[in-house]
Amino acid sequence: MDEYALLPKKNFDELVKRFTNSFQIYGPTEKDGKFSFDIISDPSELRLDISGVPILPPKKILFPPEEVLFTYEIISNDNVKINDPLDEIKKKKQVFIGIRPCDVQGLILLDKVLMDKTPDPYYVTRRENTIIICITCDNPAEYCFCNFTRSGPLIKKGFDLLLTDIEYAYFVEIGSKTGENIVNSNLDLFQKASKEDLTKRNRKIHEIEEKMSKIRSANLDELYQKITSIFDSSLWDEYGKRCLACGKCNFTCPTCRCFDVYDELDLTLKKGKRTRKWDSCHFLSFTQVAGGEIFRKERTSRVKQRIYDKYCYPVDEFGSIFCVGCGRCIQVCPAEIDVREILKKIIGM
């Protein structure tokens, strides 16, 4: 398999149009000055030049904020009709175009939970039916820190094709058999990449890294050792007093996956549905159990839980931190809590 290829920019729109024949296409779009990762019907709708990432990660397509797991209807005492949406989900093929390396890493981490550990059939089906065409960032936002989490600006796996803008073309790194098939099936659009093209790509990545200098790349093993030793630190009280427990950081995070499940009946008690909906560990009700007891009543404990659930607990369980450095939690926090600030303090302790 060839490792690299070149896609002249004049051919990019045609490649996207060819996907529309068989796939639903998702990519970064703009509406009223705001960016989101949504369905596109025409290449002109794609905004590959945005700074940073859309507020909600592409996770929302594979693991929706709210989805009906099944509906049922009681026909008679011994006859219940159940409708499982999985059959329809299996029919849907999709392409993510313009997904950033940090969000690809987010999907890799979600896979560890929803595919490898406890397979979720809805997530697994969507994931297996999705082609990933990633693009490196040209303009990282002020809140980006993927260099710290080692999830960008260049990523080594998790994509079918990885594009980097080198002015006259997109330098293409082929990451899978599917990616190779895309290139080989569209040879009229792709060209062979030269050593000079590779040099330009590497130079571009270096320039992007230089832009992300707010927080230095750290020894993650050192971070783990530090964070496990400060569980009772007053640091958590400082941020617990500031946190509003709104859950925005959870809902915009590419790797948060907590959810609640509830059943709804109609008035006849003959029909109903079971729904899954995103939940937040910052909510007071999150740890409420039967009898009304709440295990994390204090906001301090909930703030601490989120940090440990990104930089400590998943290292024990999966061998990796579960933060990808996208900076969404920094961008949306109404209390202006900057996780980079917390990490700097931990590292300095």
Q: Are residues 292 and 189 in the same domain?
A: no
Q: Are residues 164 and 228 in the same domain?
A: no
End of a domain among 152, 179, 211?
211
Q: Are residues 117 and 228 in the same domain?
A: no
| Average pLDDT of adjacent 10-residue blocks, the chain of 349 residues | 89 95 94 90 92 93 96 89 93 96 97 94 97 93 89 93 95 97 96 94 90 65 89 93 95 96 91 95 89 89 94 94 95 95 86
Residues ≥6 apart with Cβ < 8 Å to 201: 164, 166, 171
End of a domain among 211, 233, 250?
211
Q: Are residues 206 and 226 in the same domain?
A: no
pLDDT tens-digit series, residues 30-77? 988 889 999 999 999 999 988 889 999 999 999 999 999 999 999 888
* pLDDT the model gives residue 309: 95
Q: Are residues 204 and 239 in the same domain?
A: no
pLDDT tens-digit series, residues 191-209? 999 999 999 999 999 888 8
Residues ≥6 apart with Cβ < 8 Å to 32: none
Q: Are residues 141 and 289 in the same domain?
A: no
* pLDDT the model gives residue 234: 92
* pLDDT the model gives residue 214: 54
Q: How far apart are CA 175 and CA 57, in angstroms?
A: 21
**pTM as predicted:** 0.92
End-to-end CA distance of the chain: 47
**DSSP helix/strand/coil, 314:** helix
Q: Are residues 238 and 299 in the same domain?
A: yes
Q: How many beta carbons lie within 10 A of that of residue 341, not counting itself?
A: 14
Residue-wise burial string across 225-261, b where 16 or more C-beta atoms lie within 10 A, e elsewhere: ebbeeeeeeebbeebbeebebebbbbbbbbbbbebee
Q: Are residues 203 and 240 in the same domain?
A: no
Total domain count, the chain? 2
Nearest CA to 90 out of 129, 131, 132 is that of 129
pLDDT tens-digit series, residues 86-102? 999 999 999 999 999 99
Q: Are residues 234 and 205 in the same domain?
A: no
Q: How far apart are CA 261 and CA 274, in angstroms?
A: 7
Q: Are residues 150 and 255 in the same domain?
A: no
Q: Are residues 158 and 288 in the same domain?
A: no
End of a domain among 211, 242, 263?
211
Structural domain including 245 reads: 220-348
Look up residue 28 and give its two tokens: 């970064």
Task: Give ∠ CA 127-131-135 in degrees, rounded to 5.
Answer: 115
* pLDDT the model gives residue 139: 85
Q: Are residues 201 and 108 in the same domain?
A: yes
